[in-house]
Amino acid sequence: MNEIRVLSPTAILGYGFPVASFEEGMRRDPHVIAVDAGSTDPGPYYLGSGKSFTQRSAVKRDLKYLIDAALERNIPLIIGTAGGSGARPHVEWNWEIIQEIFAETGQTAKVAVIFSDVDKDVVVRKLYEGQISPCGPVGELTTEAVEEATYLVAQMGVEPIINALQEGAQIVLAGRAYDPAAFAAVPIMHGFDQALALHMGKILECAAIAAVPGSGSDCLLGVLKRDSFILEALNPERQCTPMSVAAHTLYEKSDPYRLPGPGGTLDLTDTQFSALDGGRVEVSGTKFVPTPRFSVKLEGAKPIGFRTVSIAGVRDPIMIGQIDDILAGVRQRVQDNFSDLQNYSLHFRCYGRDGVMGDLEPTPNPGHELGIIIEAVADTQDTANTICGFARSTLLHYGYPGRKSTAGNLAFPYSPSDFPAGEVYEFCVHHLMELDDPRELFKIEWRGE
């Protein structure tokens, strides 16, 4: 076998793809269909709550095409980080959709469900043994953080997926996984270069985002050869360029030349990006540097309270010019009125000035209008509602020098103006844990046939 062809239909399962692009991909006779189904990008809520950030009907729509094509061609379908965050409830949610499709179509398949949930006792033991370290700018892990997490997952590498494929899986439904793993597993299983396979997977996991114009809801084909790989967009409206592929190689990386993952780091120092005809790009030169000990990333989120938000607009230039003093006055008024309440926080985000970057905004120059989001987080939903509502009404009628009207300072696009947003989570585990065996945490359950 001189090459492995990997079809990536969409950046996230449920983000969709044009049928014409997918059919073009299938005409290229891929050896595997692989798709990423999750991310931590939407924040800690989805891991902590056990809910998916993708919609069920959208995921089902995509899966119908993927399952039908994979079973018809007798090629594996690999799904990574099932259900959005990859914990057991996310994986089971995704499995229920697959079962529903099987029931409707009369299809069946040998499905390997790989769970990535980690027992808290295992994490605590590893912590005491000195086998856990921070991943990035976070503090040392504590037993309290482990216990507070509603779900704990580890990012699997290619090894558990390869194990499932070698045992005959037609569909692999994996829990939390290193993003390139679903795409690199088949090539690595067949002896192709690990560095190139993982680098290709790094690009394919976001599908046509690496093309021009980029799209997370369109297909991309990767062809891995012995000393390089080739990327091709499958929609004639898009093409890959050396710039677009190199730019996506930088995606989600703190170091432009190194990408750490389970078991080692991709070294991109000597990587070359070359344009080919037909809007294709060839990539070569990437190397893999193993770490002394195999490690996986742990992720966990804990509940911290309940949130209520209110959205309003301001267009008075006099008020905009004094907005910091006004918001400080509102905050003080809330504190005075609820001095008996301690377990709450109140935030104001001013879009049109520094709502995106906050204190890091280099040019905080207000425009002719501001969008203000009032956010209250407290230990109960009732308290959050109370704090947000009081802050909103106080800001609405707050007096300031030069004000020309007493009718109200804010314009509300919605009624009701306040939105109880439910439980709030934050990441409490974001650490690396050493393993003796890359497969030791990841249990496979066989379902389907």
Which tens digit of pLDDT belongs to each residue from 291-345?
A: 999 999 999 999 999 999 999 999 999 999 999 999 999 999 999 999 998 889 9
Cβ neighbors of 155 (< 8 A, separation 6 or more) are 116, 176, 177, 178, 262, 296, 297, 299
| Residue pair 290/262 in contact by the 8 Å Cβ criterion | no
pLDDT for residue 105 = 96
- Res 107: pLDDT: 95
Give the H or E element holding residue 307. Answer: strand 295-314
Could you count the other beta carbons within 10 Å of the beta carbon of residue 403?
A: 14
Q: What pairs with residue 375 in β-bridges?
A: 309, 347
Q: Identify the H or E element spanning 423.
A: strand 418-434
Per-residue pLDDT of the chain in tens (449 residues, 90 and over written 9): 899 999 999 999 999 999 999 999 999 999 999 999 999 999 999 999 999 999 999 999 999 999 999 999 999 999 999 999 999 999 999 999 999 999 999 999 999 999 999 999 999 999 999 999 999 899 999 999 999 999 999 999 999 999 999 999 999 999 999 999 999 999 999 999 999 999 999 999 999 999 999 999 999 999 999 999 999 999 999 999 999 999 999 887 788 899 999 999 999 999 999 999 999 999 999 999 999 999 999 999 999 999 999 999 999 999 999 999 999 999 999 999 999 988 899 999 999 999 999 989 998 888 899 999 999 999 999 999 999 999 999 999 999 999 988 889 999 999 999 999 999 999 999 999 999 999 999 999 999 87
Phi-psi map region of 358: left, alpha, beta (phi>0 left; psi -120 to 50 alpha):
left
Q: What residues contact 120, with CB distance under 8 A and at least 6 apart?
A: 146, 147, 149, 152
Q: What percent of the chain has pLDDT over 70?
A: 100
In the chain, where are the structural domains located? 4-119+152-299+431-448, 316-410
- Would you say 388 and 418 are in contact if contact means Cβ atoms under 8 Å apart? yes
Q: Are 133 and 431 in contact (CB under 8 A)?
A: yes
Spatial distance between the Cα atoms of 212 and 397, rounded to a whole number of angstroms: 49
Q: Is this structure's pTM higher than 0.85?
A: yes
